[in-house]
Structure 1
Amino acid sequence: MIRRLTKEDHEQVFLFLQQDPSFNLFIIGDIESFGYDADFQDVWGQFDGNGSLEAVLLRYYDSYILYAPGDFDADGFARLIRETAGPSLSIQLSGKEEVARQFEGRLPLGTKRTLYFCECRTDEYARQEKGAFAVKKAGLADVDRILDLRGRIPEFDTRPTARDMLVKAMETSSARTYYMEQDGRMVAAASTSAENSLSAMIVGVCTDQEHRGKGYASAIVAKLVCDLLAEGKMPCLFYDNPAAGRIYHRLGFRDIGLWTMYR
């Protein structure tokens, strides 16, 4: 049985999600920040005959994430996603590779991208990378500067909801951005997403083309790693660029699986 989840289900939901806290950091973070009643977020669960959870699906704006440690009702969740996604030509969906791929052929999915998922359990290596760079923490007044920097990076695809999502995340302390600037212009940055009581995803690592190769992004990520671990939150991230992977591994990150996104 699949049904919408409410705050009355919260204890059971979190016990279920904490089986795999790193891979579930988006779902955990969004529930902790926005609960079960926000107009831009819905949470559903699949239960077995004994009332135990078997899968959880989260809708955050126009994106869906599903977690299931074993078999789940892929057809039932696909019908639910079609009913709630509206007239979209392609569905934005993500999750562990072995879970997300089961929706291929069941939904009109966007372009597939599979990434390495990794976590960092120590700041031993990050402490050595911070260097003498002046890394600053962004506030709400810097949101447009962050989006402007990302807009200058060819690899970034900024969605129409990006500003609203970034503001909401900052206001609820589920995201932060650290950055560096030259002559008053933001030239490198890295952010967190889905920060929660257990973990945080590092995203949006970027450097202006003319400032690459100077170690700016590494220094920013290193500071994020040190600060997050000091707060008891495990830093996670995903990558598909081998060169980026080598940098992250040097900072202490280790691969734990694959993450698939359809955009």
Structure 2
Amino acid sequence: MIRKLNNQDHAKVFSFLKEEPSFNLFIIGDIEAFGYETEFQQIWGEFDEKLNLISVMLRFHDSYLVYAKEAFDVEGYARLLPVEGPVQLSGKSEVVEKFETQSFIQLGEKKKMYFAECRSKSHAKDPDSRPVHLADFEDVDRIMELRSRIKEFVITPSRRDILVQAMKSKTGRTYYIEENGQMISAAGTAAENSISAMIVGVCTHPEHRNKGLASETLIALMEDLMEIEKKTLCLFYDNPAAGSIYHRLGFKDIGKWTMYR
């Protein structure tokens, strides 16, 4: 049985999600920040015959996240997705790839990545590194302009609104390096919650690559979140070169993540 979840389900939902907290970072963060009843967010859950929660799907704006630990009602969730694609869907690869069997939905372009987690930082900040700044609302357009230069990034109409909303709700932040007033490297977080955060938007302007700027930005971010706020950090990547940078900084692979965009 799949039904919409509400505040009365909260204890059961979090007990279920915290069995794999890193993989459920986005869902945990969004529920902590926005709850169960908002215009832009909905959460559904599937229960077995003993009323145990066995799977969850969250809608955040036009994106969907699904999590399950065992067999679940793929078709039932697929019936809740938009009838007009492409559908933006994300989650553990072994979970969301099951939706490829549902011919009546149109999934977005598939991207499969490694999922990595960091519990202890392995690099200290270089005293000779460039200043790293924490972005504010006035920097939003500069962040979007930098991201638009990165061919691997998909910039949808809702991305700016999501970035602003993350800043307002304190579920996301962006650190950056600038030169002559231009933002040239950045790294941010999303789905920040009481125990963890997801690293997103790691990028460097094409004309300023191979200078270690992304690492400098990440190290500053990691110092604040891990050493001061004691949070676990997660990220996904598909580029082996990027993976080697993250591994040097203390990240370890724990699985794979698939996105349809």
Amino acid at match of 2:198: M
Separation in 1, partners of 2:34, 2:109: 28
Aligned CA-pair RMSD: 1.2
Counterpart selection for 2:221 from 221, 224, 229: 224
The residue identity in structure 2 corresponding to 1:13 is: V
Give 2:70's aligned amino acid: G
For residues 1-150 of structure 1, the aligned pairs below 5 Å read 1-81=1-81, 85=82, 87-106=83-102, 107-123=105-121, 125-127=122-124, 132-150=129-147
Question: SS in structure 2 opposite 1:127?
Answer: coil
What is the TM-score of this pair, normalised by structure 2?
Answer: 0.96
Unaligned runs of 5+ in 2: none
Q: Between 12-21 and 100-109, report the one with greater CA deviation.
A: 100-109
Which segments of 5 or more consecutive residues in structure 1 lack a partner in the other structure? none
1:261 deviates by 0.6
* Secondary structure, aligned partner of 1:14: helix
Contact persistence 2:114–2:255 (CA under 8 A): yes
- Secondary structure of the 1:43 match is strand
Counterpart Cα distance in 1 of 2:33 and 2:80:
24
Residue 158 (structure 2) aligns with: 161
How far did 1:131 drift?
A: 5.1
For 2:137 and 2:79, locate their aligned partners in 1 and report how far apart those are by CA, in whole Å: 38
Which residue in the other structure is 1:207 paired with? 204
- 1:130, 1:223 within 8 Å by CA — same for their partners in 2? no
CA contact (8 A) 2:111 2:258 kept: yes
What amino acid does structure 1 have at the position aligned with 2:230? G
Equivalent residue, structure 1, for 2:149: 152
Change (3 A) 1:38 1:130: farther
TM-score normalised per structure 1: 0.95
2:182 maps to 185
How big is each residue's C-alpha offset from its partner over 1:5-31, in whole Å with a ceiling of 9 and x where there is no partner?
Answer: 011111111111000000000000111
Is the contact between residue 129 and residue 251 of structure 1 (CA under 8 Å) also seen in structure 2? no
Q: Is the 8 A contact 1:126 1:223 kept in 2?
A: no
Q: Do the aligned partners of 2:146 and 2:184 also contact (CA within 8 Å) in 1?
A: yes
